[in-house]
Amino acid sequence: MPKARYDGEGYLYQFQDKPNAAENLLSGECVVLMNVLEVAVFAMVVLGPNQQPFNCEVSVGGVRCSHGIAAFREGDNDIVMSDGIKVIKSPKGELQFSNGVVAKMDSLGWVQFSNGVAVRRETSEKFRFSTGMVCRFTAMGRAGCSQEARESRE
């Protein structure tokens, strides 16, 4: 089994041979396993409305977060968290959590989860939650989720 490697920018990837390509030494392909920000967002959703700040970092074989959750890739599209919750991603990008939480997109671009949490992508590096929490890349291979500071109005 090929080893997973961290690319230095927030993605865990794996280099593997293409099927039936044993003769060609240059036949490998790079497969993205998971993104540290994606894991942080999923971990925040699992917390439900009782969200607290935390940070996540790519580590050996997966992503580890400061609130005790670790996440690992399972199969082609799924992520398993250390608390036993599995995030199942369909080929169409639909999400289902093994604890019964389901997601639906609303007309304003928010993804509404059945546990009362909603999230919206604001940029490729930032997700905003209905609770006021924001998850974003903080450094190479790291993401953080925290209450966004309100701007003062003078």
Residue 5 is predicted with a pLDDT of: 46
Q: Is the pLDDT of residue 1 over 60?
A: no
Q: Is the pLDDT of residue 4 over 50?
A: no
Residue 83 and residue 39 in contact, taking contact as beta carbons nearer than 8 Å: no
Sheet holding 28-35, edge to edge: 4-6, 11-17, 28-35
B/e letters for 13-49, b = 16+ CB within 10 Å, e = fewer, are ebeeeeeeeeeeeeeeeeeebbbbbbbbbbbbbbbee
| First and final C-alpha spacing in the chain | 59
What six digits make up the tokens of 76?
């082609």
What six digits make up the tokens of 69?
């959750």
Residue 42 and residue 87 in contact, taking contact as beta carbons nearer than 8 Å: yes
Residue 151 is predicted with a pLDDT of: 55
pLDDT tens readout for residues 21-41: 444 434 444 444 568 999 999
Residue with more model confidence, 61 or 63: 63
Residue 99 banded pLDDT, cuts 50, 70, 90: very high
Q: Is the pLDDT of residue 12 over 50?
A: no
Task: Give the residue-averaged pLDDT of 88-99.
Answer: 85
**Three-state SS for 46?**
helix
Residue 76 banded pLDDT, cuts 50, 70, 90: confident
Residue 9 banded pLDDT, cuts 50, 70, 90: very low
Task: Give the residue-averaged pLDDT of 123-133.
Answer: 92
Residue 105 is predicted with a pLDDT of: 87
Determine the Cα–Cα distance for residues 55 and 10; give it in Å rounded to an integer.
13
Q: Is the pLDDT of residue 18 over 60?
A: no
